[in-house]
């Protein structure tokens, strides 16, 4: 292979835990691209200046907390799904300039659930009220949910997510309940909250759900993911792989080697568990 001809990265704060470099680098190796992909710590205040400092070799950026909503104002164009969610986890660059903000969390979440669960989704519950809650709530609508419930500690902080889910063309009913004590409902329970917030009482309320979708992959397993259950478990790596595959194709124009990316992610998580 010749000289590296393109750069991509995942941005966020914190960012050291991210498996995105592992997945994307495995994808590059599998298809023979001599590209680089790194993890860069960037906070919300520093995102604009980071973007203006990029050279023409940059092709794409993955975004995590706390950058997803801020990124919407920094791209020349936005996709319909990013506008629906009010957040972008993907920036596509041309000649070092951000030309498109996209949200691959939404279709990635749909694919992650459908890979493991073929049953009906008429309603669902999302634990949390941030940008990821908005994307996964919209994914529940794409899967058929007519009612989506957000369970949060502070209802006022969930208003952006509520508004985003309510914008779905299917016209879902969006309810807000308390994370502390209220019942979960629907075929799918999605957790977007930190592992530290998953106490035994909350875990007990969620174990009977036909599908638990835990969006975290580090630490793994979380208390919710570790609890014995009869239903289906969809994990954070499932979401990460599917949304990363979509990003890979947007950045490179090449079909993503999904299984190579998944295998690399599983190996990295196993190694973390072995040393942790």
List, by residue number, the catalytic residues: 68
Neighbours of 81 (CB within 10 A): 18
CA angle, 67 as apex, 64 and 70 as ends, to 5°?
150
């Amino acid at each position: 292979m010749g000289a590296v001809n393109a750069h991509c990265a995942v941005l966020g704060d914190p960012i050291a835990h991210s498996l995105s470099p592992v997945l994307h680098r495995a994808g590059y190796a599998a298809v023979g691209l001599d590209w680089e992909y790194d993890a860069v710590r960037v906070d919300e205040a520093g995102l604009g200046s980071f973007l203006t400092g990029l050279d023409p070799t940059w092709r794409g950026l993955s975004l995590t907390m706390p950058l997803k909503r801020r990124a919407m104002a920094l791209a020349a164009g936005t996709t319909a799904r990013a506008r629906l969610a009010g957040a972008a986890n993907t920036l596509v660059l041309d000649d070092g300039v951000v030309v498109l903000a996209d949200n691959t969390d939404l279709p990635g979440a749909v694919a992650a659930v459908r890979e493991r669960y073929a049953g009906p989704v008429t309603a669902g519950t999302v634990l949390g009220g941030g940008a990821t809650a908005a994307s996964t709530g919209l994914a529940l609508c794409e899967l058929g949910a007519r009612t989506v419930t957000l369970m949060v500690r502070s209802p006022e902080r969930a208003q952006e997510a509520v508004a985003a889910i309510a914008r779905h063309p299917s016209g879902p009913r969006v309810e807000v309940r308390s994370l502390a004590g209220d019942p979960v409902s629907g075929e799918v329970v999605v957790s977007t909250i930190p592992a530290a917030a998953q106490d035994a009482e909350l875990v007990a309320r969620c174990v009977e759900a036909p599908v638990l979708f835990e969006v975290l992959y580090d630490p793994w397993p979380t208390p919710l993911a570790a609890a014995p259950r009869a239903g289906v478990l969809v994990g954070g790596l499932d979401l990460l792989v599917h949304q990363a595959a979509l990003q890979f194709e947007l950045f490179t124009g090449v079909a993503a080697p999904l299984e190579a990316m998944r295998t690399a992610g599983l190996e990295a998580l196993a190694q973390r568990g072995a040393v942790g």
